[in-house]
Amino acid sequence: MFDPTSQLFPPITPLRHGLLAVDDLHTIYWEEVGNPDGIPVIFLHGGPGAGLSPQHRRFFDPQQYRVILFDQRGAGKSLPLGECRNNTTPLLIADIERLRMMFGIEQWLVFGGSWGSTLALAYGQAHPERCLGFVLRGVFLCTQQEIDWFLDGAQWFHPEVYDDFVAPIPAEERGNLLQAYVRRIMSDDPAVHWPAVRAWSRFEGRRVFLLPQPDEPPSDTLDLGVGRLESHYMANLGFFSDGQLLANVARIAHLPAVIVQGRYDVICPPVSAWRLHRAWPGSVLEMVPDAGHGAMEKGISRALVGATEQFKRRRAFA
């Protein structure tokens, strides 16, 4: 039963979970939640590198949905943690297809937030015939403009956070913060890469919510996954050509989509969600007026559950 006080469905444990070797280097963690005969949905987490949370299972009615969740390469419980070799968007898309075939699913709803929205669009454009529709949150189209904003735009709204981020970087390297951090994050020396990944992870984490939140204690898993994989993917423009995802919307424009966006999202500003909505005539854009980027902000979580409930009703009358 839906819990209106938390905006989410109650906590639930996986029906089953396991590890899947996807190549000689990477093994990904997966779990299945809900009704094995329900509407299939694939959940794509953000970051890259942020990994799963038990809260992610709670956007879906467990009596009506069969939810497949997984930690992407290098993230969460997948092994090796923070590994950037053999870690590209085409390979993540191939992993999603491998999971779909492993579970015997023909088509599924694709649900993703932040980097998960990027991956959802890339997967859908590669395999539109496998998609029932999309629920996207905090849209990130992985353009150079968005990456530049993520790094340097912070100074306009969070100058103290930005100053903390640039402080460890010598003045002569600050003209390209991304490359300055990549050099440190990818260092083999723990004395160099651990401070760098922690600074990167904190730089993002302090800007997620509209209202200030207490600082989270350092997490080796989150900090290494986010620091290494975000900087790796940003340095490679997500393995896209600039503007690719928006240019290829026509491949999925026949499918339903709900886009949930925080009005005051400073990680993934609303202009990207707006551009996607404008390019996708059948999409529905819900701009949450009192939210930032966080999936667990009340307005965002309420809208995401509303989207999965709407899709459930749509399927009932299909």
Beta carbons of 227 and 252 less than 8 angstroms apart: no
Residue 199, in any domain of the structure: yes
Would you say residue 154 lies in a domain?
Answer: yes
Mark whether 254 and 309 lie in a shared domain: yes
Same domain, 80 and 119: yes
- Residue 111 inside a domain? The answer is yes
Domain boundary among 188, 209, 237: 237
Q: Global pTM?
A: 0.96
Of 56, 78, 95, 114, which residue is the catalytic one? 114
Which residues are CB-neighbours of 198 under 8 A, at least 6 positions away? Answer: 218, 223, 227
Note whether 96 and 152 are same-domain residues. no
- For 180, the domain range is 144-237
**Interatomic CA distance for residues 148 and 157, integer angstroms:** 14
Q: Which two tokens stand for residue 103?
A: 């579970």
Query: Which of 237, 252, 268 is the last residue before a domain boundary?
Result: 237
Pull the structure tokens for residue 158.
């969070």
Contact 196, 169 (CB under 8 A): no
Confidence at residue 214, expressed as pLDDT on a 0 to 100 scale: 84
pLDDT tens digits in sequence order for the chain, 318 residues long: 444 445 899 999 999 999 999 999 999 999 999 999 999 999 999 999 999 999 999 999 999 999 999 999 999 999 999 999 999 999 999 999 999 999 999 999 999 999 999 999 999 999 999 999 999 999 999 999 999 999 999 999 999 999 999 999 999 999 999 999 999 999 999 999 999 999 999 999 999 999 988 888 889 999 999 999 999 999 999 999 999 999 999 999 999 999 999 999 999 999 999 999 999 999 999 999 999 999 999 999 999 999 999 999 887 655
Instruction: Let me know whether 85 and 181 are in one domain.
Output: no
Q: Residue 318: its pLDDT value, please? A: 56
Q: Which of 26, 193, 232, 293 is catalytic?
A: 293
> Which of the following is catalytic: 61, 95, 223, 265?
265
CA dist 52 and 44 (Å) reads: 9
Domain match, 197 and 55 both: no
Check if 95 is active-site.
Answer: no
**Are residue 20 and residue 138 in the same domain, yes or no?**
yes
| CATH code for position 33 | 3.40.50.1820
For residue 35, the model assigns a pLDDT of 98
Both 133 and 246 in one domain: the answer is yes
Q: Is 193 marked active-site?
A: no
Query: In this structure, is residue 100 part of a structural domain?
Result: yes
Q: Are residues 177 and 195 in the same domain?
A: yes
Same-domain check for residues 58 and 149: no
Clarify whether residues 124 and 37 are in a common domain.
Answer: yes
**125 plus 72 within the same structural domain:** yes
Q: Does 312 map to a domain?
A: yes
- The reply to whether 265 belongs to the active site is yes
- Please report how the helices 89-102 and 115-126 are oriented relative to each other, as an axis angle in degrees rounded to 10: 70
Q: How many domains does the chain have?
A: 2
The set of residues, in sequence order, having a beta carbon less than 8 Å from that of 244 and lying 6+ positions away, is none
Q: Which of 220, 237, 254 is the last residue of a domain?
A: 237
Report how far residue 144's alpha carbon sits from residue 237's, in angstroms, rounded to the nearest whole number: 7
Distance CA 139, CA 148 (A): 15
Query: What pLDDT, on the 0 to 100 scale, is given for residue 6?
Result: 56
